[in-house]
Amino acid sequence: MTELWRLDATELAQGIRTRRFSSREATAACLARCEAANPKINAVVDVLAEQALAAADAADRAVREGTPLGVLHGVPITLKINVDMAGRPTSNGIVALRDATATENAPVVDNFLRAGAVVIGRTNTPAFSMRWFTDNALHGRTLNPWDPSVTPGGSSGGASAAVAAGIGPIAHGNDFGGSVRYPAYCTGVYGLRPSFGRVPAFLPSAKEERALSAQLMSVQGPLARSVRDLRLALAAMAVGDARDPWWVPAPLEGPAPERPIRVAFTVSAAGERARPEVVDAVRRAAGWLADAGYAVEEVDPPDMAEAAKLWDTIAQGEALHFLSDAVAKMADEGMLTAWRYMCANTPRNDAFGHMKALARRTTLIRRWQLFMARYPLVLTPVSAEAPFPQGLDVSSQAGMDRVLRAQGPQFFVPLLGLPALSAPTGVVNGVPMGVQLTGQRFREDLVLQAAEVLEGRFASPAPIDPA
């Protein structure tokens, strides 16, 4: 029973439901793994051991009493510290918010709890959740279990490191510019960014509404060690909530597509030349899909580079107006440096320029919808490079520019509101390598099916012992 932390959520849920083992045993095993592994990686910064064991006992009582059970009943998970969980501080990695205790749950937290999940802890994020490196003055730096000298990703770096190290089979994350997909890429696990409108989002503790770009592009998504666990997590997270006016009651399974399913793939990273190991990963994944009967064709999707640049124009352009004062007042030294470098090349649009950029976004969405009517799946790099060395973004302006150039494949997805998944394909020079699958809006089912093909050829090596 002490090895239950090695099981994925699907097997844990089935074992708890059939009383092969208890939720308390599974939760205790994951907490023990946290106690052993977390000091080496600093992934979980708010351990909820007592609360989790009480929730596990309640889950076991429900099983004994024959109460209807949710899809994640009794399964240990982690939440990111930038969403509200009643009674816990929503610090978002900011020293000034260390005591900002939430009084109610965010919709995604309520959905996990309704599905029966047991929250064992909350994971680290960079200050303001705005870097691809997870480090802050409040909780410190999260290390990659594979290699502490490279980033575990960000902003859901604590989530990815926890899952990779066996601290819970499912981690909650959120993704505005790659914050689920990139951490999954860096740690060799699976990360799903759902379609815009699929999972309800709201931060009850917020003083005012988010910038429009965040409302239209930021989503909540799961990280896991298996594709089937992503399915479970998505089903739990996608239940509607009246607090999110953007939520759409779309079915999790769409109509059967025409076969063979066509896949467009490119080794271009939104106009940037990818490193050889990245190119090899994409070509390998394309071959695996072709072997499985997909009609795979090397073709560049429309306007990837423009879409990536437009994400910066809109998202970072709004951040300059909405976040500059808060960053100046509350950011730590690392975030201040990253912010300065990150914003150096962002266009300073006036209101009319911003409206034109939003209008152009509609044009690009239309072009992609037409393209994806022919190619329902698109295979690309996640990043033009292997996981970056720790601190590259704050090393210099050149370091940040290198990061931003490489991350273009992550930017076009939120601009277009599409679902995308990061899947591992191998290990190169001691760190994971992977690819990104993007699908039509609300067709996570097709993305997950294709990811299962990749998983069949290379399954995530996680959980691993931290290096």
Q: For the domain that residue 345 is a member of, what is the CATH number?
A: 3.90.1300.10
H or E segment and range at residue 232: helix 227-237
| Per-residue pLDDT, 333 | 98
Interaxial angle between packed helices 444-457 and 276-291, expressed in degrees from 0 to 180 and rounded to the nearest 10? 100
How far apart CA 396 and CA 392 sit, in angstroms, is 8
* Residue pLDDT, tens place only, 234-261: 999 999 999 999 999 999 999 999 999 9
Average pLDDT across the chain, whole number: 98
Let me know if residue 441 belongs to a domain.
Answer: yes
Over residues 334-341, the mean pLDDT reads 98
At residue 142, the pLDDT reads 99
466 inside domain? no
pTM of structure: 0.98
Q: CA neighbours within 13 Å on the CB side: how many for 269?
A: 24
Is the model's pLDDT at 273 over the cut of 90? yes
Q: Say if residues 254 and 291 touch (Cβ distance below 8 Å).
A: no
Percent of the chain with pLDDT over 90: 100
Residue 463 lies in a domain: no
Identify the pLDDT of residue 330. Answer: 98
CB-CB contact of 210 with 315 (8 Å):
no
Quick check: is 108 in a domain?
yes
Question: Which among 22, 91, 129, 155 is annotated as catalytic?
Answer: 155
Torsions phi, psi for 221 (to 5 deg): -155, 160
Q: How many Å apart are CA 416 and CA 419, to the nearest integer?
A: 9
pLDDT tens digits, one per residue of 164-184: 999 999 999 999 999 999 999
- 3-state SS assignment for residue 149: coil
Our count of domains for the chain comes to 1
Closest CA to 380 of 185, 234, 231, 194: 185
Structure confidence at residue 110 (pLDDT): 98
Residue 347 lies in a domain: yes
pLDDT at 1 over 80: no
Give domain status of residue 462, yes or no: no
297: pLDDT confidence band, cut at 50, 70 and 90?
very high
Q: Write down the catalytic residue from 91, 156, 179, 268.
A: 179
Instruction: At 215, give phi and psi (nearest 5°).
Output: -60, -35
Residues in the chain: 467
The C-alpha angle with vertex 167 and arms to 52 and 73, in degrees rounded to 5, equals: 45
Reply yes or no on whether 80 is catalytic. yes
**Residue of 23, 80, 156, 383 with catalytic role:** 80
Contact (Cβ atoms closer than 8 angstroms) between residue 78 and residue 162: yes
Which residue range forms the structural domain that includes residue 15?
4-457
DSSP 195: P
Distance of CA 418 to the CA centre of its chain: 14
pLDDT digits 0-9 by tens, 22-35: 999 999 999 999 99
Rounding to the nearest 10 degrees, give the CA dihedral for residues 406, 410, 414, 415: 40
Is 179 tagged catalytic? yes
Residue 464 lies in a domain: no
Q: Tell me what pLDDT residue 2 has.
A: 80
Residue 326 has a CB neighbour count (10 Å cut-off) of 12
